[in-house]
Amino acid sequence: MYKFRAALVGHASDVRAVAAGICPQGSIITCSRDETARIWTPDSDGVGFTTTQTLRGHTRYVVSTCVMPPGDEFPDGLILTGSNDGNIHVYSHKSSEPLFKLTGHTGTVAALAAGKFGTIVSGSWDCSARVWLGQKCVLTLSGHAAAVWAVAILPGSGLVITGSADKTILAWKTGKVIQKFTGHEDCVRGLALLSEEEFLSCGNDATIRRWNINGTCVQTLYGHSNFVYSVAVLPNGVDLVSAGEDRTVRVWRGGQLDQTINLPAQSVWAVACLQNGDIAAGTSDGVCRVFSAAPERQAPPDIQEVYEQEVAGTQLSKAELGGYKVADLPGKEVLLAPGRRDGQTVMVRDGTNVTCHSWSASEQLWKKVGDVVGASGGSTETSGKVLHDGKEYDYVFTVDIQEGAPPLKLPYNTSEDPWQAAQRFIHKHELSQQFLDTVANFIIKNSGGAGAAAKPPQPSGEYYDPFTGAGRYVPAAGEHHVGAGGADPFTGSGRYVPPGTAMDTTPAPAAAPPASRYFPQNDFVYFDKGNVEGMATKLREFNQRTGDGCHRLEETVLQELTKLAEPTASPAPHHLAMLLRLLDWPKELAFPAIDLLRLAVRNPETCQYFCAEERRPALLAALQRFAQPDSPPANQMLALRATCNLFRHASGERAVMAAREDVSAAALALFPAASRAVEVALATLLLNSGRQPQLTDGEAQFRALVGFGTLAAAARDMTALARSLEVESVLERLKNVPEPEKVAACARQLEQLVRSS
């Protein structure tokens, strides 16, 4: 059984990555948000550790590490670190300064792995993995739709495995994907090799999965109650350990949970297995803790007792464990009965206090893992209020919204609107408006739904981090910021802002029923606002990543193109032609170019240029290509928005309606939508198409009905929208048309759907 060995104290912030060192023998490598990595060497007593080298040079948080095996050039091996600064540093254990740096990634280097012959693989928030050899990038692996958080190399075959926030795992051979592994229901956070034929993965869906190289998931391990950040294989090559957001390290033997080790920290970011079978775990309190199954390496009994008291003294908030009433909890007598499984937790009533205990199967006893606190103001019937910034709240959640940023406190009272609490949180911390709906739904889910308009999921008793605990960064969607403005014609509540944007409308005055100033919507809806500076930065960045340079533009040309985003610009034909050239960029790099097009077509001259008969097919083909189901969600969203903005001018309106069959087919192929932002863009395109007063062609009428029916059947909100837009009066007319018969039949079916919802 594993017991506490030592605490490696020295970092000033979270320990985000851990690796077993090669030289000195038995050493441990740790990386931290304090911008350093450390080498820890075993003390002479065989129990403790001492820092023998502090590795410096990074300018941002250090979040990944690996060790390169010894070779002819470096007989002691090398230590690699990846950082939020986008760089990889390579060190000898003898020096605090890097021997050399590897540059090329444009986002956080979140994962590292070393293979034979000096091969290095890195994974990054820029959605790519890179293969390095001889201090040069020899391959860029682009195929994931989100950040690459885990990488591994099969040494025998040379296969590269990558795990991503897009929930998938890919196997690569010579730069090409040869196998895709699907099954995780949330972000993939860690990978570990079992053999040349099998590997492990873990993720935010709280599972660990065992895969064979042919793409089959042969086993799924359940036990963690929250995100699983890291997985590692013990020296026997069969058993494994894992760590996550539930404050635990778990040991698995024979495919079963064997031991649960509780730690006195909220997040256990990383776990590594040493050559002697000991376990090292890096945590959010800045400490790396080592556990050993060998009695001679375990801490003395008095130190063990101090550690157990430290764990027992951990304070767990009611908000982390879900809503409950103290009076409904069992008393201490529940601790007289054995637990059902290792790691099982129970909350116990002790007078007006509540304690949390975890069952240790190996020791056959309940261990206290913390006191549940509700702060001041509580009665004997509830766990009380939580004090935050001098005010009492029903809940104060801890959320980690971004890699490299400290966790934030999210206060909430059940008497307030969750969206108001979410908006207050966003304003206070100057966060992107894209988080509004996510934060509000997180509040509803974890507060038991009190005060929410809609029935929420039942509380699960787990701590949830809506942004994944490590900043669930989705680079493709996160780069587009559209400022709030105008009315939202889809809700009228003013509180819904789709992820990645706040939709802007420009309605002209129109007669409307006194009951609402939002509908019926008689004017086109556009997406007007944009972060031009951010878009320009991405254009410059991606311009350097377009491969052989055939699509690369001069910096001065890019500067001129950026000016097209201004609606009052005077576009030159050669600049507009250059913008079309940008749309030939690879899909994974195209989103800032599509965003520029979206803003540029607000200008009547630009819109007329692109919608001219000789250029219209190329424009619409590009938009439809980016709106394909296999295109990144950001491309889908922006292509739909650009199409919506074409309705601003008569030339664009004619262009879209002339190709309405192809446009509608491409739009409907996106259902179900990849995100709320895509869904809203789809609905807006449908809304703009549907207000055509001249829409008398039978086939066009039929396709409009099919489009709206598809949306209405998939989302209950759409039926309410249909009624608010007085669609029933339109259906009443269309269900009686003589020809074509399918229009009348479709109208009758849609009328029944709207009225029954």
The CATH number linked to 99 is 2.130.10.10
- In this prediction, residue 743 carries a pLDDT of 74
Alpha carbon 647 to chain centroid, angstroms: 33
pLDDT, mean of residues 150-171? 94
- In this prediction, residue 413 carries a pLDDT of 85
pLDDT: which is higher, 168 or 572: 168
Q: What is the pLDDT of residues 670-702, one digit of tens each?
A: 766 667 677 777 777 876 765 554 445 565 566
Domain shared by 359 and 411, yes or no: no
Q: For 135-145, b where at least 16 C-beta lie within 10 A, e where not — what string?
A: eeeebebbbbb
Highest mean predicted confidence (pLDDT) among 71-80, 267-276, 589-598, 703-712 = 267-276
Q: Is residue 261 part of a domain?
A: no
Distances (CA, A) of 622 to 583, 584, 614, 686: 7, 8, 14, 19
With beta carbons less than 8 A apart as the criterion, state whether 707 and 730 touch: no
- In this prediction, residue 550 carries a pLDDT of 54
Specify the range with the lowest mean pLDDT, choosing from 96-100, 303-307, 495-499, 722-726: 495-499
Domain shared by 592 and 690, yes or no: yes
Distances (CA, A) of 305 to 302, 308, 367, 671: 5, 5, 12, 57
335: Cβ contacts below 8 Å, ≥ 6 apart: 346, 348, 357, 366
Domain shared by 445 and 564, yes or no: no
Domain shared by 369 and 417, yes or no: no
Given a cut of 90, whether residue 236 has pLDDT beyond it is yes
pLDDT, mean of residues 6-28? 95
- In this prediction, residue 505 carries a pLDDT of 36
With beta carbons less than 8 A apart as the criterion, state whether 459 and 448 touch: yes
Q: Which residue has the tokens 């959640």?
A: 397
Given a cut of 70, whether residue 401 has pLDDT beyond it is no
- In this prediction, residue 455 carries a pLDDT of 34
337: Cβ contacts below 8 Å, ≥ 6 apart: none
Q: Is residue 257 part of a domain?
A: no
> How many H helices and E strands in the chain?
19, 36
Specify the range with the lowest mean pLDDT, choosing from 116-120, 131-135, 140-144, 702-706: 702-706
Q: What is the pLDDT of residues 350-393, one digit of tens each?
A: 776 778 778 888 788 888 777 765 433 333 233 345 656 556 67
Q: Is residue 260 part of a domain?
A: no
> 10 Å Cβ neighbour count for 359?
21
Of 472, 495, 511, which residue sits at a domain end?
A: 472
State what percent of residues in the chain have pLDDT above 90.
38
Specify the range with the lowest mean pLDDT, choosing from 69-78, 126-135, 428-437, 476-485: 476-485
Given a cut of 90, whether residue 195 has pLDDT beyond it is yes
For residue 554, the domain's CATH number is 1.25.10.10
Cα(563)–Cα(464) distance, integer angstroms: 43
Q: What is the pLDDT of residues 91-112, one digit of tens each?
A: 999 999 999 999 999 999 999 9
Domain shared by 218 and 352, yes or no: no
Highest mean predicted confidence (pLDDT) among 270-284, 338-352, 673-687 = 270-284
> 10 Å Cβ neighbour count for 234?
18
Given a cut of 50, whether residue 476 has pLDDT beyond it is no
- In this prediction, residue 230 carries a pLDDT of 97
Given a cut of 70, whether residue 187 has pLDDT beyond it is yes
- In this prediction, residue 248 carries a pLDDT of 94
Domain of residue 138, residue span = 15-244
pLDDT, mean of residues 483-506? 34
- In this prediction, residue 400 carries a pLDDT of 62
Smallest Cα–Cα separation from 160: which of 213, 90, 207?
213
- In this prediction, residue 282 carries a pLDDT of 97
* Full DSSP string of 353-410: EEEEEEEETTTTEEEEEEEEE--SS--SSS---EEETTEEESEEEEE--STTS--EEE
Read off the amino acid at residue 529.
K
DSSP 499: T
Cα(385)–Cα(374) distance, integer angstroms: 5
Q: Is residue 308 part of a domain?
A: no
Domain shared by 391 and 321, yes or no: no
pLDDT, mean of residues 426-451? 72
- In this prediction, residue 20 carries a pLDDT of 96
Highest mean predicted confidence (pLDDT) among 119-133, 327-341, 729-743 = 119-133
Q: Is residue 709 part of a domain?
A: yes
Domain shared by 522 and 660, yes or no: yes
Distance separating the N- and C-terminal Cα atoms of the chain: 58
Of 379, 403, 429, which residue sits at a domain end?
A: 379
Confidence label for 536 from pLDDT (cuts 50, 70 and 90)? confident
For residue 393, the domain's CATH number is 3.10.20.870
Domain shared by 88 and 148, yes or no: yes
Q: Is residue 268 part of a domain?
A: no
Cα(228)–Cα(205) distance, integer angstroms: 8
Given a cut of 70, whether residue 620 has pLDDT beyond it is yes
Of 416, 440, 472, which residue sits at a domain end?
A: 472
Q: Is residue 1 part of a domain?
A: no
pLDDT: which is higher, 433 or 3: 3
Cα(622)–Cα(583) distance, integer angstroms: 7
Domain count, the chain: 5
Q: What is the dihedral of CA 734, 739, 742, 744, to 10 degrees?
A: 20
Domain shared by 335 and 432, yes or no: no
Cα(376)–Cα(392) distance, integer angstroms: 8
Given a cut of 80, whether residue 125 has pLDDT beyond it is yes
Smallest Cα–Cα separation from 467: which of 147, 76, 68, 25?
147
Given a cut of 60, whether residue 475 has pLDDT beyond it is no
Model confidence, pTM:
0.51
With beta carbons less than 8 A apart as the criterion, state whether 310 and 264 touch: yes
Confidence label for 509 from pLDDT (cuts 50, 70 and 90)? very low
Backbone phi and psi for residue 640, each to the nearest 5 degrees, phi listed first? -65, -40
Q: Is residue 605 part of a domain?
A: yes
Given a cut of 80, whether residue 466 has pLDDT beyond it is no
Domain shared by 412 and 361, yes or no: no
Q: What is the dihedral of CA 501, 147, 214, 206, to 10 degrees?
A: -80
Domain shared by 561 and 643, yes or no: yes
pLDDT, mean of residues 563-589? 84
Domain shared by 721 and 601, yes or no: no
